[in-house]
Amino acid sequence: MKELTITFIITAEWEKLPSTIRDQFKKKLAKVIEQPHIPKNILRGDLAGCYKIKLLKAGVRLAYQVKDDQVVILLITVGKRADSIVYDEAKKRIKD
């Protein structure tokens, strides 16, 4: 099994999520550990090199980057997709 480091840029946002949503994301992140580069989850444009995890029923998205040399998942942002707010915030954060 691969060793994985998860770096949270979104700590405050993560803590505000209901525990049921966090648990759903944790299950999906466990799959990311085994296969970090999931083609259907690739983001494009300004977020090229990033991936998304979607919780369709909750309408929440999580954007992340994978740093292969260290097998690090950098959680960038989490939030609603409405008006692309979650992706706009991700763009700002990866530029910093």
CA dist., res. 5 & res. 41, Å (int): 20
Q: ∠ CA(31), CA(73), CA(44), 5° rounding?
A: 90
Are 78 and 28 spatial neighbours (Cβ–Cβ below 8 Å)? no
Give yes or no: 93 in active site.
no
Are 80 and 86 spatial neighbours (Cβ–Cβ below 8 Å)? yes
Of 52, 57, 67, 91, the catalytic one is 52
Of 22, 28, 54, 81, the catalytic one is 81
Give yes or no: 81 in active site.
yes
Fold of 5-95: YaeB-like fold (3.30.2310)
pLDDT in tens, the chain (96 residues): 455 566 666 777 788 889 999 899 889 988 887 888 889 999 898 888 888 888 888 888 888 888 765 556 666 677 776 767 777 877 777 776
